[in-house]
Structure 1
Amino acid sequence: MASPIALFVIDIQNDNTTDPKTRVRTADRIKDAGKTILQVARQTLDAYRTTKEASPPVLIIFVQHEDLPGKGTLAKDTEAWKLVFEPRAGVEEELLVQKTTRNTFETNPELAGMLKTRGVSEIVAFGIQSECCVESTCRGALQEGFDVTLLSGAHSTYDVEGKPAEEIEVEVEERLREIGVRVEPWEEVVARRWGAM
């Protein structure tokens, strides 16, 4: 039986995907990809929950950023802070993780140990923002000893100083490849890991 994969859904929140004033330009692409990725991963997870094999094929980790008071728009319990995709109630393989730093593992020092206890050796990540929390969490996962895959086409960010989000996405992917992160199109990973879409 293969080890479970931890699928990290990073900071896909109302502020950066639904609010017309603050959403990233590429938000619809990320939401569409996220919907499909989660649908297929959950189908695989639900099949496991029916048969209860030795270990689940995937754990889904929903990461939610929270700004400290007066430090940003993602204040806890605000509409901007709410997640677009949330863990399903009663599904112990879907977990919510809060963070206040870019690196999910920095805010949650017990997270790596918990995942390893559950048999996880690989993290697959997607979400927003590419050069901030997505990149930092991928780096943090590597530092904790996990194999890491970034889902190309399923992460993005804001256009910055004339540089389009798509260019920043590529730059992040290049930096992460250099340190050992696998970067693969999300469609290929989903089809290979969790069956046809």
Structure 2
Amino acid sequence: MTTHTSPVQALLVVDVQRAFVRGDGALPEAARLVDRTADLITRARAAGALVVHIQNDGATGGDDEPGTPGWELHHHVEAGPTEVVIRKTHDDAFQETSLGGLLTASGVASVAVCGLMSEMCVQATARTAVALDHRVVLPYDAHATYDIPAEPGISEAVPAGVVSRVAAWPLSRDADVTARAADVTFTAPTAPAARG
């Protein structure tokens, strides 16, 4: 695990929506996740980094069905040229969205990825960011998931912390997995050169 990383130019806040961080359906580590992601957002804004809130459009009847209270983003969005919301319908926030084009157009070469769920949307989004040649920082204490229940004949219950650790492990070959969100620093993107 990395302890110090060079500044990143964008923060991807994945699916930090009310259904997952409030009430009976909240993640076991929801309070920690909300605290760490709020701090990352505050510091990214202050540095002029691009902040992208990813919002999952869940299935009809799901906890994150569009238009329902659970679908709403937990963190306030300061909409503008350096802070946007991108909605998605797949685990990977790049799939069938404008995220890749936005990062390119904004001159972003490096991103930090945080949010939920570790083994699904966070991992899928981080993997694609790596595949698109972005430097990726994954702050370990700023992503989370649910416990996996026991399945007779397969395994005992798997605690959420273990699931998150396993999700981050394969990314450590290609991304900077840092233990603490507090170690992530930000800088403004460098605008791409105009084409003639």
TM-score using structure 2 length: 0.83
In structure 2, stretches of 5+ residues that fail to align are 1-5, 150-156, 188-196
1:165 pairs with 2:160: yes
1:34 corresponds to = 37
Amino-acid identity (%): 27
2:192 corresponds to = none
Indicate how the Cα distance of structure 1 residues 3 and 121 shifts in structure 2: closer, same or farther if over 3 A, else same: farther
Offset at residue 35 of structure 1 (A): 1.6
Alpha carbons 1:4, 1:119 under 8 Å: kept: no
In structure 1, stretches of 5+ residues that fail to align are 46-57
2:154 corresponds to = none
Alpha carbons 1:4, 1:59 under 8 Å: kept: no
1:149 corresponds to = 137
1:44 corresponds to = 47
1:48 corresponds to = none
CA distance in 2, matches of 1:147, 1:8: 13
1:187 corresponds to = 182
1:123-170 deviations in Å (ceiling 9; x for gaps):
111001000100010011112221111111010000112211111111
Greater than 6 Å deviation, 4+ residue runs: none
1:86 corresponds to = 76
CA distance in 2, matches of 1:80, 1:13: 6
Q: How many residues align?
A: 174
Alpha carbons 1:126, 1:155 under 8 Å: kept: yes
Alpha carbons 1:3, 1:121 under 8 Å: kept: no
1:111 pairs with 2:106: no
Offset at residue 3 of structure 1 (A): 9.1
Alpha carbons 1:121, 1:146 under 8 Å: kept: yes
CA distance in 1, matches of 2:112, 2:42: 15
2:190 corresponds to = none
Offset at residue 14 of structure 1 (A): 0.6
Alpha carbons 2:17, 2:74 under 8 Å: kept: yes
1:100-141 deviations in Å (ceiling 9; x for gaps):
000000131x42122112110111110010001000100111
Counting helix residues as a fraction of each chain, which structure ranks higher?
1
Counting only pairs closer than 5 Å after superposition, residues 69-80 of structure 1 correspond to structure 2 as: 69-70=60-61, 72-80=62-70
**Partner letter of residue 24 of structure 1?**
L
**Partner letter of residue 177 of structure 2?**
V
Counting only pairs closer than 5 Å after superposition, residues 47-62 of structure 1 correspond to structure 2 as: 58-62=49-53
